[in-house]
Amino acid sequence: MPPIRLWSIEDFQIDPSRPLYEQFVEQIRAMIARGELEPGTRLPSVRETAASLRVNPTTVMKTYQELERLELIVTFRGQGTFVTQAEEAIRQTRMQLAKEAVRRLEETARSIGLSLEELWELSREKE
């Protein structure tokens, strides 16, 4: 059973100034959170992924380990790595991402002394 398809480096938006594995984690997590990678889907192996993304295998390994720690993927030895079947974990992730995003927005508003409404208005001004 092959994985849906190999990744290409163009599937990711990379900022060279930030850790690669961190950006892979974020973007694969988003793929799972929005349902683009469905539960049970088999992911390409570490070796395959490293080759297709042209990155160091240890970078992919760190990515997968972190996603595993987040309980978004599971590895079955000898069988491969799969998106978790636990939809609850995916639901939780979506909520965490939402809460975190709003928390950051509120933190920014607080730091410049604005209410959320004022921040919103300001962000909509031109120039």
Partner DNA sequence: GTGGTCTAGACCACA
Partner DNA sequence: GTGGTCTAGACCACG
C-alpha to C-alpha distance for 65 and 44, rounded to whole angstroms? 14
Closest CA to 68 of 80, 81, 86: 81
* Contact string 10-29 vs its own copies (x = CB under 8 A): ------xx-xx------x--
| List of residues 6+ apart from 45 with CB closer than 8 A | 80, 81
Of DNA, its own copies, none, which one sits near residue 81, judging by CB under 5 to 8 A according to partner kind? DNA
Tell me: does residue 61 bind its own copies (CB under 8 A). Answer: no
Tokens of 54: 């042209």
Q: Which of 10, 87, 111, 117 binds its own copies (CB under 8 A)?
A: 111
Tokens of 20: 């690669």
Tokens of 12: 């990711």
Q: How far is the CB of 37 from its own copies (least distance, A)?
A: 12
The binding site for DNA (CB under 7 A) comprises: 17, 19-22, 43, 45-48, 54-59, 61-62, 64-65, 75, 77-81
